[in-house]
Amino acid sequence: MFICGSCSKYEQQCECERYCMLCQSDYRVRLCEDGYYYCKDCREACDFRSEE
């Protein structure tokens, strides 16, 4: 389980405003293992993994 770097909660409980750490997009943003949210394009480009 990944934990949000801002609120230290799991993705399901996190109520932070979610946008991509890299490009500020909100398109299919998911929490990754470093505790930040990334959009689908940046996750694929940087090989970050979200939870299923």
Q: How far apart are CA 13 and CA 46, in angstroms?
A: 25
Does residue number 7 form part of the binding site for Zn ion (CB under 5 A)?
A: yes
Does residue number 29 form part of the binding site for Zn ion (CB under 5 A)?
A: no
Among residues 2, 14, 31, 48, which is the contact residue for Zn ion, using CB under 5 A? Answer: 14
Does residue number 50 form part of the binding site for Zn ion (CB under 5 A)?
A: no
Among residues 10, 16, 33, 44, which is the contact residue for Zn ion, using CB under 5 A? Answer: 16
Q: Give min distance, CB of 35 to Zn ion, in A.
A: 9
Residue 49 in tokens: 């993994």
31 sits in the region (left: phi over 0; alpha: psi -120 to 50; else beta) called: beta
